[in-house]
Amino acid sequence: MRRSKFSFHVIVVTAAIAYIYLSTVFVYIDQWFGLGSSPGMLSAAVYTFLAVTCIFCYRRAIFTDPGRVPTTFVPDVEDSDSQIHEIKRKGGDLRYCQKCSHYKPPRAHHCRICNRCVLRMDHHCVWINNCVGHANYKIFFVFVFYAVIACIYSLVLLIGSLTADTRKDSENADDSLRILYVISGLLLVPLSLALGFFLGWHIYLIIQNKTTIEYHEGVRAMWLAEKGGEIYLHPYDVGVYENLTTVLGPNILCWFCPMPGHLGSGLRFSTRYDNLIGSSTP
């Protein structure tokens, strides 16, 4: 039975987007420039574009399937084009999901919340009530990118509006407006900081071609490698540009467009050893 995509967290995010948009356009911009002025109309148009883009990306992140593992998938250990086969930490057997009753492709993991395996799983996000995986990672990333811009832009407009409001006669001061400024500040400042940090974190992961799960697994692998006198290298790190195109797509002009950019089926990924092994083959 398909799980509903609507949840308490989704409602909270939707309400926050609506509140920030309405207060930004009809309060901050209106108080600072006036909606009827040219700067006011331009600012309102720009912010409406950001809001619509955020809503579009958010909706797609919620309803886009992150990637299902085919029930017929079986790793071909004799395939010369596939240089890496991920194995279990204990026993060294090929990774097999007992709950889904099928083998796990490289970088796939079982989500206990979605109750299924997800291709190139990054994490399960309660704010979209969906897993972030191979097929919707770019959409999720672009949503966070535009959300950061929208929050910072709204914060700038709030400060400008507040500055313009303090210049007015104190007799015309509106207490309800002051309360709205306080609530908005308490919302926008921590939200901008949190989303900004989150965006920076995922930029780092994309550049390294890692998922959040692989990062934490890599920390342990690095510790074990250093303990054994070796150097750990992430196998899916194929260079900064190639890492970026793997997630954001081959067309650099579309990297921040709200459309899927993932390459391949999610069952096989390029590794840093492909060219090395290929060049050593006589």
Instruction: Reply yes or no on whether 125 is catalytic.
Output: yes
Question: Cα–chain-centroid distance for residue 15?
Answer: 20
Rg (C-alpha) for the chain, rounded Å, is: 23
**Which listed residue (100, 114, 125, 257) is catalytic?**
125
Q: For residues 151 and 189, is the Cβ–Cβ distance under 8 A?
A: no
Q: For residues 224 and 169, is the Cβ–Cβ distance under 8 A?
A: no
Structure tokens at 52: 């619509």
CA distance 45 to 37: 12
Would strands 123-125 and 130-132 be described as parallel, antiparallel, or unpaired?
antiparallel
Please give the helix or strand (H or E) that residue 125 lies within, else none: strand 123-125
Would strands 109-111 and 123-125 be described as parallel, antiparallel, or unpaired?
unpaired
**Residue whose structure tokens are 């006011």:** 40
Structure tokens at 96: 């097999």
56 by Cβ neighbours in 10 Å (0-12 / 13-18 / 19+) ranks as middle
Structure tokens at 160: 């400008």
Alpha helices, DSSP H, located in the chain: 8-23, 30-32, 38-63, 137-166, 175-208, 212-227, 240-248, 274-280
Residues recorded for the chain: 282
What amino acid positions are annotated as catalytic residues?
Answer: 125
